[in-house]
Amino acid sequence: MADFRTGEVLLIHKPLTWTSFQVVNKMKWLIKNHPSLLLDGKRVQPKIGHAGTLDPLATGLLIVCTGKQTKNIEKYQAQEKEYTGTFYIGATTPCYDLEKEIDATYPTAHITEVLIHETTKQFTGKIQQTPPLYSAIKIGGKRAYDIARAGETAEIKPKEIEITVFEITRIALPVIDFRVVCSKGTYIRSLARDFGLALNSGAHLTALCRTRIGDYELTKSMSIEEFENNLKSDNISGT
């Protein structure tokens, strides 16, 4: 039986359109009546949190910690990440993904497979990357996405990230599939923007899945529905 109060580390497959907060909130609601939360006949609500936000339009691995394991969230957040996804070449959006409509189109006739593969080399190693304005970064005490949604602009300073693998897995222009292994703080939406610019065109992200965090793999995760069913049968175990 899981002991959510002492602490569990749970691997969850975040569904499309859900925010990471919604996943945590749903899990908190599901476990609040679990037998492991009884202490001297009284019910105790454990702490619960996730180790690294995924955008609503991204899917994949979300590490959720409960109880005393929430103290280790920063350790999990700092670990290397792996993603797979798709870029659309020749068009951009204000948020660099499908949350907003296309705002500009660009030529693509000059783009070849050789150029695509050569361009990936510009984005491996330690590089400077500017996060999207549509992000949770705080600027002057406000979330950047709140500033953007209010129709305002703000300066976001670039920061150093590291991409150890940037592999093109399929080319079917105008779409390109990829695999990226990167450090904490890397925005794949920003990579889409920058990759499009490097191709002398434009690009935005149309699909993204986080497949790994450190040694924790998506293949070992469970859906929200599986978590709920396993919880009912006391068949939950952490990592």
Under 8 Å between Cβ of 46 and 6: no
3-state helix, strand, coil in the chain (%, to 5): 30, 35, 40
Report the distance separating Cα 130 and Cα 74, nearest Å. Answer: 22
Residue 137 host element (H or E): none
pLDDT score recorded for residue 140: 72
Residue 159 phi, psi dihedral angles, 5° rounding: -135, 160
Q: Which amino acids are annotated catalytic?
A: 55
Contacts with 138 (C-beta within 8 Å, 6 or more apart), sequence order: 144
Under 8 Å between Cβ of 15 and 227: no
C-alpha distances in angstroms, 53 versus 73, 105, 137, 167, 184?
Answer: 12, 29, 12, 23, 11
Q: Write down the domain spans for the chain.
A: 9-78+215-232, 81-213
pLDDT score recorded for residue 107: 97
Beta bridge partners of 129: 159
Report domain 81-213's class.
alpha beta
* Segments in the chain below pLDDT 70: 1, 36-41, 135, 235-239
Question: 156: exposed, middle or buried (C-beta count within 10 Å: 0-12, 13-18, 19+)?
Answer: middle
pLDDT score recorded for residue 43: 73
pLDDT score recorded for residue 153: 74
Plot region of 7 (φ>0 → left; ψ -120 to 50 → alpha; else → beta): left
pLDDT score recorded for residue 131: 86
Report domain 9-78+215-232's class.
alpha beta
pLDDT score recorded for residue 235: 65
DSSP class of 131 = P
Torsion of CA 179, 185, 191, 192, to 10 degrees: 80
